[in-house]
Amino acid sequence: MQEKVSPGAWICLIFSFISGFSTLFLQEAKLLEQDVWLSYLCGIAMSFGVLAVLYLAQRNYPGLSMTEVFDRLLGKQIAKICLCLYLVYILEIQGAAFQALTLFYRTVVLPNTSSGQIILLIALTTAYASSLGLGAIVRTVQVLLCFFLFFMLVIVVFIYKNVTINPFLPLFQHRAPEIAFGGLLSLYFPFGKSIVFCFLFSRVTNRKKLLPSTLIALSLSGLYLFAATYLSFGSLGMNLVQSVTFPFFSAIQLVRFGEYLERIEIMIIGIWTVFTLFEIIVLQFVFMQVFEHIFALKHVRALALPVGLLFFAMSHRSFVHQADLSFYNFRIGPFSTLLPTVVIPLLLLLISLLKRGNRSGEGGPLLASSDDARRPRS
């Protein structure tokens, strides 16, 4: 029997998924500076909109998982192709995530360790974690989130002491196209990644609270990202944020307790790393679920290690240079994300509305949907 997730746990899971990596590069903040909050709002709104669209598409098929809804709406063959696109999307996101984490560790902590070793270690860890099931993942998130929030709160209070300017003044200094592109950047990373949670909709216990919980999670992630950006700009300065590779990390490096107690960031790195791993664990878990559906498999545990090694192999061959990652995140990612995060969900909604319209025209929409609900899930 599949484990279910409560709405509260759902919020924790989405928050952890988005917030792990979101503060690493602050790329849209470097583009938009004091107007970056507009791009965050756009990213949150668009992500929530997409998830709401998918929820509405699935609502007509209660009791079915999203992959089954794909089958119903698009037909089995086209659904498989679309789901394969989502597998490719997950490979894209995880490749960038692996290399970002590896880059961070090799730049800051372990400069003489090969990227292959670090990626392999991450892949093995996340493969094991994803094989434990959604229940174990969610429970771990809920336990660790307390520590994460506690440490972050302490750090935020101490970084705030170093803030010397209001970094969000003067307002509205950027052109509309720049803000629109910033919104697209925010959609690609970090908010649009939450699209993978559509494949876990059927796991939430209280379906009525699913959308409000999702909105709360996205908003809290946005608030955390906003706070990190504010503190980075305010304590480092606008010019320095443009130069440094990891702005929020550099802001944390300035935190000092008294005169001698420094290098607090070492503790933060530990807990932050765990949260970045949650993103990869969830991606692996969803990858296995979608893969299972495409190939009509019954058991997925055997796939845990091969999927982990696949993630390793793809990541190790991608983004070989640091500049590749920056280039991709800024120039390619915002456009490649549109197909899985906007086009396909809108297509699904459109087809579901058309099908609903056809059924109501034929005079038996309610009967049809209840028949679908009674059909057992594979």
Site string for other proteins, 180-199 (x = CB under 8 A): xx------------------
Q: According to the binding rule CB under 8 A, does residue 317 interact with other proteins?
A: yes
Residues numbered 318 to 337 that lie near other proteins (CB under 8 A) are 318-319, 324, 328, 331-332, 334-336
- Least separation in angstroms between residue 38's CB and other proteins is 15
Handedness of CA 252, 36, 326, 88 (dihedral sign): positive
Q: According to the binding rule CB under 8 A, does residue 316 interact with other proteins?
A: yes
- Least separation in angstroms between residue 310's CB and other proteins is 5
Q: How far apart are CA 227 and CA 243, in angstroms?
A: 20
Residues binding other proteins: what is the number (CB under 8 A)? Answer: 75
Q: Which stretch binds other proteins (CB under 8 A): 195-203, 237-245, 267-275, 352-360?
A: 237-245
Q: Which stretch binds other proteins (CB under 8 A): 50-58, 76-84, 86-94, 267-275?
A: 86-94
- Alpha-carbon Rg for the chain, nearest whole angstrom, is 21
Q: According to the binding rule CB under 8 A, does residue 88 interact with other proteins?
A: yes
Q: According to the binding rule CB under 8 A, does residue 279 interact with other proteins?
A: no
Q: According to the binding rule CB under 8 A, does residue 298 interact with other proteins?
A: yes
Interaxial angle between packed helices 304-317 and 115-131, expressed in degrees from 0 to 180 and rounded to the nearest 10: 150
The smaller minimum CB distance to other proteins, of residues 41 and 240, is found at: 240
- Least separation in angstroms between residue 3's CB and other proteins is 21
- 171: alpha, beta or left? (left if phi > 0; alpha if psi -120 to 50): beta
Among 14, 31, 50, 51, the residue binding other proteins under the rule CB under 8 A is: 31
- Least separation in angstroms between residue 289's CB and other proteins is 13
- Least separation in angstroms between residue 161's CB and other proteins is 8
Q: How far apart are CA 309 and CA 316, in angstroms?
A: 10
- 258: alpha, beta or left? (left if phi > 0; alpha if psi -120 to 50): left
The smaller minimum CB distance to other proteins, of residues 110 and 132, is found at: 110
- Least separation in angstroms between residue 225's CB and other proteins is 21
Q: How far apart are CA 188 and CA 174, in angstroms?
A: 20
- Least separation in angstroms between residue 347's CB and other proteins is 19
Degrees, nearest 5: CA angle 109-96-263:
20
Q: According to the binding rule CB under 8 A, does residue 92 interact with other proteins?
A: yes
Q: According to the binding rule CB under 8 A, does residue 243 interact with other proteins?
A: yes
Q: According to the binding rule CB under 8 A, does residue 239 interact with other proteins?
A: yes
Burial status of residue 261 (CB atoms within 10 A of its CB: 0-12, 13-18, 19 or more): exposed
Q: According to the binding rule CB under 8 A, does residue 164 interact with other proteins?
A: yes
The smaller minimum CB distance to other proteins, of residues 106 and 209, is found at: 106
The smaller minimum CB distance to other proteins, of residues 210 and 310, is found at: 310
Interaxial angle between packed helices 344-362 and 36-59, expressed in degrees from 0 to 180 and rounded to the nearest 10: 30
Among 2, 166, 358, 378, the residue binding other proteins under the rule CB under 8 A is: 166
Q: How far apart are CA 83 and CA 65, in angstroms?
A: 13
Among 1, 170, 261, 376, the residue binding other proteins under the rule CB under 8 A is: 170
Interaxial angle between packed helices 265-294 and 115-131, expressed in degrees from 0 to 180 and rounded to the nearest 10: 60
Interaxial angle between packed helices 76-108 and 344-362, expressed in degrees from 0 to 180 and rounded to the nearest 10: 150
Among 75, 116, 270, 364, the residue binding other proteins under the rule CB under 8 A is: 116
Amino acid at 353: L
The smaller minimum CB distance to other proteins, of residues 157 and 297, is found at: 297
Q: How far apart are CA 88 and CA 82, in angstroms?
A: 10
H-only helix segments in 162-303: 176-188, 210-236, 238-243, 247-253, 265-294
Amino acid at 189: F
